[in-house]
Chains A and B, each alone.
Chain A
Amino acid sequence: MASLGKNSSTGSGKRTYRGEPGIAMLGATGSGKSTFLGALQIALLKQENEWRIWCREPASRKALVEMNTALTSEGRFPLPTTGIDTFDWILGGRRARTERKGRFGSRSFEESIELTLKLTDPTGELARPDQIGLQSREELVDHVAKSRGILYMFDPIREFNRGDAYEKTYSLLMDLVAAVADDPGFDGRLPHHVAVCVTKFDEPRVFKTAESLRMLVWDEHDPLGFPRVHSSDARDLMHSLSKVSRNGTGEVVPQLLEQYFHPDRISYYVTSAVGFMVSKRTRMFDIQDTENVYRIESGESLVRGPVNPINVVEPILWLVEQMALAG
Chain B
Amino acid sequence: MTGRTISVYAQWALHGKVLDDEGYQVIACSNGDLSKANFGDALSRFTLGALDMLPQVSVSYLQPAAPSPGGGYLALAIHWFAADGQRHADGVLRFDNQGRPTAFTSYFCAPYVQLAPHGVTYPDMYRGFSAVTLPGTDGLPAEVTITAAAQQVPGIDDLAMRVAPLLLTGVPVCVLGADATSMEERLRFIDTVMGLLPYGFRARMTAATWTRATNRNHRFRLFFSSAPRASEKPDHVVYWDKPELVAPPGGDAGHYYGWLTDKVTPLATLTRLNAEISFGDSAGTEALRLVDEIRLWRRPRPRPPAPDSPGRRGTPGSQSKAAPESADPVEMLLCECDEHVRAPNLSRLRQDLSLLQDRLQSGGIDDSRRRRYRSLVNRFGLLGPDQRLGKYEGKLLDTLIALAFGSPVSYAVLCQLEDSVRGTPGHLPRTAPDPGLPRPLLEALERTGLADVRSKVIVYSHLDGRKLSRWLSSKEVDAYRLIGELARRGWHRKAHGRLFCDATLKYLQDKRGRYATAEIRRALLRNGYLAQALREIGHDQYQVHALTSLLVAAFPEEHYPRGIGDAAITEILAGTPDAPTPALLAAILRKIPAAAAHQAWDAYTYGSIARMGLDEATHGALRTHLPVLAAADETEPPEPPPAPGPRPPQALEPGRGLRLETSDGT
Q: Is the CB of B93 within 8 A of A128?
A: no
Give the shortest distance, in Å, between A301 (CB) and chain B (any CB).
3
Interface size bucket, A side?
Answer: 35 or more
Chain B, 289-306, contact with A by CB distance < 8 Å: what is the 0/1 string?
000000000000000000
Chain B, 320-362, contact with A by CB distance < 8 Å: what is the 0/1 string?
0000000000000000000000000001000000000000000
Number of interface residues of B (CB under 8 A): 40
Q: Is the CB of B50 within 8 A of A85?
A: yes
For the complex, give the distance between the alpha carbons of A34 and B100 in Å: 12
Contacts of A85 in B (CB 8 A): 49-50, 212, 214-216
Out of B23, B50, B218, B227, which one reaches A79, CB within 8 Å? B50
Q: Contacting chain A: which of B40-48, B136-144, B195-203?
A: B40-48
**CB of B221 within 8 A of chain A?**
no
Among B99, B101, B214, B217, find the residue whose CB has the most chain A CB atoms closer than 10 A: B214
Residues of B within 8 A of A (CB): 17, 21-25, 40-41, 44-45, 47-52, 93-96, 98-103, 212-218, 225-230, 347
Residues of A within 8 A of B (CB): 28-30, 34, 57-63, 77-88, 121, 123-125, 128, 130-131, 134-137, 139, 158, 161-162, 293, 295, 298-302
For the complex, give the distance between the alpha carbons of A121 and B50 in Å: 11
Contacts A34-B50, A83-B49 aside, 18 further interface pairs with beta carbons under 8 A come to: A30-B96, A30-B98, A59-B213, A59-B225, A62-B227, A63-B212, A63-B213, A78-B50, A79-B100, A82-B49, A85-B212, A85-B215, A86-B214, A86-B216, A123-B23, A134-B41, A136-B47, A300-B100
Question: What are the 3 A-B residue pairs with the smallest beta carbon separation, nearest first?
Answer: A301-B99, A59-B213, A29-B23
Give the shortest distance, in Å, between B562 (CB) and chain A (any CB).
60
Contacts of B45 in A (CB 8 A): 135-136
Out of A63, A77, A125, which one reaches B23, CB within 8 Å? A125
A-B contact count (CB 8 A): 133
Give the shortest distance, in Å, between A172 (CB) and chain B (any CB).
14
The binding surface of chain A is classed by DSSP as: mixed
Contacts of A300 in B (CB 8 A): 94-95, 99-101
For the complex, give the distance between the alpha carbons of A58 and B93 in Å: 34
Contacts of A57 in B (CB 8 A): 227, 230, 347
Q: Is the CB of A63 within 8 A of B100?
A: no
Q: Is the CB of B217 within 8 A of A59?
A: no
Give the shortest distance, in Å, between A265 (CB) and chain B (any CB).
27
Give the shortest distance, in Å, between B648 (CB) and chain A (any CB).
53
Known: A136-B44, A298-B94. A125 touches B21 (CB 8 A): no
The 18 listed contacts between A and B (C-beta, < 8 Å) are A58-B227, A60-B230, A62-B226, A80-B24, A80-B101, A82-B49, A83-B47, A86-B215, A123-B23, A125-B23, A128-B23, A130-B40, A137-B44, A161-B21, A299-B93, A300-B95, A301-B98, A301-B100
Q: Is the CB of B229 within 8 A of A59?
A: yes
Q: Is the CB of A59 within 8 A of B94?
A: no
Q: Is the CB of B23 within 8 A of A124?
A: yes
For the complex, give the distance between the alpha carbons of A87 and B213 in Å: 10
Q: Is the CB of A123 within 8 A of B51?
A: no
Give the shortest distance, in Å, between A145 (CB) and chain B (any CB).
15
For the complex, give the distance between the alpha carbons of A319 and B229 in Å: 26
Nearest residue (CB) in A for B176 is A58
Nearest residue (CB) in B for A135 is B45
Contacts of A139 in B (CB 8 A): 217
Known: A59-B226, A130-B40. A84 touches B103 (CB 8 A): no
